[in-house]
Amino acid sequence: MHGGRRLAEVTLQDTGTGSTIPARLARALRGALPVLSVVLAIIVIWYLACIPMNRAWTEDRAPDGVALTFSDILADIWVQERPVLPAPHQVLGELWATTGGEAVVRERRGELRGNPRSLIFHAYQTLAPTLLGFVFGTLAGLLLAIGIVHNRAMDMGVMPWAIASQTIPILAIAPMIIVVLNSMGISGLLPKSLISAYLSFFPVVVGMVKGLRAPSPMDLDLLRTYSADRAQVLWKLRLPASIPFLFASLKVGIAASLVGAIVAELPTGARFGLGARLLTGSYYGQTIQIWSALFMAAICAAALVGTLGLLERLTLRRMGVRP
């Protein structure tokens, strides 16, 4: 269903008339206006929400017997050092200070090491297992989907369990997987990416089973008249037909993969990574640090999903799907 909708989006895009640049720009603006106003509303609400949330702290710090005026409170509310709710500009400031303002690597005892003050370094520590796990998960999902489509026993036996496996809150066993792998001497990238892989394999299985079954009986009959064998049907019909479904599930999968990598860092006392950053922030009450790590995670998610969207467009254009 998801894949089908994506396909519909792709084919429906840019069907409007008027292809001159000003017309296009106007159309883009008209499309962006609702989104921009929603985002603006969120920012305004955020700033307003800071007032009740941070007020108590400002009032507590005021010297005894001094009644604070509302403007006094306003002056303090958006610049506190450890606010209950940091204002957007504080978060962006921290984000800039820890990305643009810090070197990603620094020299320590004659070695180049990641700089733990740099958020880019932390993001890298999380992105590496995310991508590795995503690749594993996608490959496993593809193989499983191909098996399910070609083998009745697998379809009947494995599919219900694949669905059931997702009703299990897998993140709950993330800590255990990491502890167990650590006790077996495996540490570093692999444990985290295993959890990412588990989370990203399911959307791929479900999407690809649908995608590989997407060819109509007519198409399949045509290949039978060519006396194509199963491998040829797979390569020349089923796989190409499943590409829109593949990309739809890849986008879901990579977002899940990132969540997996972040959560994998939580219970194990990881020192580097966005999850570790969240954890240390929560231990020391550094709310701005937590929020900036969250923003970084959001930026990473947007970048990953956006890259896949771009790849999708290029691939579909290559394959001759005209928008």
Q: Which residues bind another protein (CB under 8 A)?
A: 1, 31, 33-39, 42, 84, 151-153, 155-161, 164, 166-173, 175-176, 179-180, 183-184, 251-252, 255, 258-259, 262-263, 266-267, 274-275, 278-279, 281-282, 285, 287, 290-291, 293-294, 297-298, 301-302, 305
How far is the C-alpha of 201 from the C-alpha of 160, rounded, in Å? 15
Of 98, 60, 94, 96, give the one whose Cα is nearest residue 77.
Answer: 60
Taken as a whole, the chain contains a residue count of 323
Beta carbon of residue 131, minimum distance to another protein (angstroms, whole number):
15
Instruction: Judge whether 276 and 270 are in contact, CB under 8 Å.
Output: yes
Query: Whose Cβ is closer to another protein: residue 121's or residue 291's?
Result: 291
Structure tokens at 46: 């955020």
Q: Which is nearer to another protein, 13 or 226 (CB)?
A: 13
Cβ nearer to another protein, comparing 87 with 293: 293
Q: How far apart are CA 223 and CA 219, in angstroms?
A: 6
Work out how close the CB of 322 gets to another protein at its nearest, in angstroms, rounded to a whole number. 24
Identify which of residues 155 and 219 has a Cβ nearer to another protein in the complex: 155
The two three-digit tokens of residue 83, written as one number: 């606010």
Q: Compute the least distance from the CB of residue 43 to another protein, in Å.
A: 12
Name which of 246 and 259 has its Cβ closer to another protein.
259
In angstroms, give the least distance from the CB of 10 to another protein.
Answer: 16
Burial 157-175 (b: 16+ CB within 10 A, else e): ebbeebeeebeeebbeebe
SS3 149: helix
End-to-end CA distance of the chain: 20
Minimum separation from the CB atom of position 67 to another protein (A): 27
Residue in 198, 275, 210, 273 with CA at minimum distance from that of residue 241: 210
Whichever of 107 and 307 has its CB closer to another protein, that residue is: 307
The token duo for 282 is 């929560």
- Alpha-carbon distances of 255 from 139, 145, 197, 298, rounded to whole Å: 16, 20, 11, 10
Could you tell me which residues come within 8 angstroms of residue 254 by beta carbon, excluding any fewer than 6 positions away? 130, 134, 200, 304, 305, 308
Over its C-alpha atoms, the chain yields an Rg (Å, rounded) of 25
> Shortest gap between Cβ of 48 and another protein (angstroms)?
17
By beta-carbon proximity to another protein, the closer residue of 223 and 301 is: 301
87 or 259: whose CB is closer to another protein?
A: 259
Q: Exposed, middle or buried, 32 (CB in 10 Å: 0-12/13-18/19+)?
A: exposed
Angle, to 10 degrees, between the axis of helix 287-318 and the axis of helix 274-284?
A: 160
Query: Measured from the CB of residue 109, what is the shortest distance to another protein in angstroms?
Result: 32
Write down the least CB distance from residue 176 to another protein, Å. 5
